[in-house]
Amino acid sequence: LIFSTPRAMAADAVVVLKSDVYLSDNVVTVGDVFENAGEHANHVLAPAPDAGDTLVLGYNDLKRIAGAFNYTWQGSAADNIVLQRAVSEVDKSDIARLVEDAVRQDLGNADRVEIAMDTVLPRVIMNGLDDPALEVTSVKTDTIDGSFDVTVAASNENGARKTVDMSGRFYRVTDIPVLASNIQRGDVIRERDIKMTSVRQDQITQDIVLSRDDLIGMAPRRTLTTDRPVRLTDLERPQIVKKGETITMVLKNGPMTLTAKGKALDNGSMGDTIRVLNESSKRTVDAQVTGTQRAEIELDVNRI
């Protein structure tokens, strides 16, 4: 402790040891240690500890201080007081939001970007009870490589100031259709099965489905899970004719149309050409799938 004995001693004053104290100033005073310190309450005893540190005054220290100021203090050998600096910590999320806003503003108030920090958000602790004020002092974005550098300054009521340099990358995003729930292989995808989600443009490859229309009416080649981009190679037209089932053959010969039963020898989607066995003639013909369990044949009826 660094203090000088006052020139004029006050009359005996009864003082009480304070509980553990948080210091808001840069120094420790008599009034920080004792209640009822009177005219010597602002007398400086020592520098305040740094942020995060503590200063412990034991019985002998306290007795010496009380004696120096002619105080009456009823203490015991077990008495002590813990003094620590009152500090405020900057919320890391506040720094992150400030950086993201600065990058978007520098890009022309772009809201269709995703921000990724390369720098780990630091812990910023400052002396004082009030929350530090934050401001962006510089921002630089590079639209060629998608990088950014932002400097954030934190200052408190005592004029102290700390700066934080943040860097990272930004990515343009776009909306693509994805499945709202898992769809099993062979199930037909309906409009109600689709929702839109935002993805980074650098993650979109040429085979990714970009339009709802490219999904509606299609069927997965395998089970597809929700919220994941769908590839064109994951899809096929739904098979509305199954191999081995009995279907209706529509036989066209000029203006005349006949129907007959046949057995599908292949699976088929709308518009596919499949082989069909005429159950009456036992002949195999090619037919174009035109509907569920239905195929059309345009040829001479005498050939079937």
Q: What is the pLDDT of residues 43-84, one digit of tens each?
A: 999 998 887 788 999 999 999 999 999 999 999 999 999 998
What is the gyration radius of the CA atoms in the chain, in angstroms?
A: 41
Across the range 5-18, mean pLDDT stands at 68
Amino acid 266 reads D
pLDDT level of residue 20 (50, 70, 90 thresholds): confident
Distance CA 189, CA 215 (A): 7
In the chain, the N- to C-terminal Cα span, in Å, equals 114
Tell me the C-alpha distance between 110 and 245, whole Å: 56
Which phi and psi (to 5°) does residue 49 adopt? -65, 155
C-beta separation of 190 from 167 below 8 A: no
d(CA 37, CA 259): 111
pLDDT above 70 (res 5): no
Q: Does residue 99 sit in helix, strand or coil?
A: helix
Please indicate, yes or no, whether the overall pTM of this predicted structure exceeds 0.75: no
Distance CA 6, CA 274 (A): 110
- Answer whether 295's CB lies under 8 Å from 270's CB: no
Contact 112, 174 (CB under 8 A): yes
Nearest-angstrom CA–CA distance, 217 and 224? 15
Residue 140 has pLDDT above 90, yes or no: yes
Residue 71: alpha-carbon gap to chain centroid:
59
pLDDT in tens, 178-206: 999 999 988 899 999 999 999 999 999 99
- The sign of the CA dihedral 284, 285, 289, 291 is negative
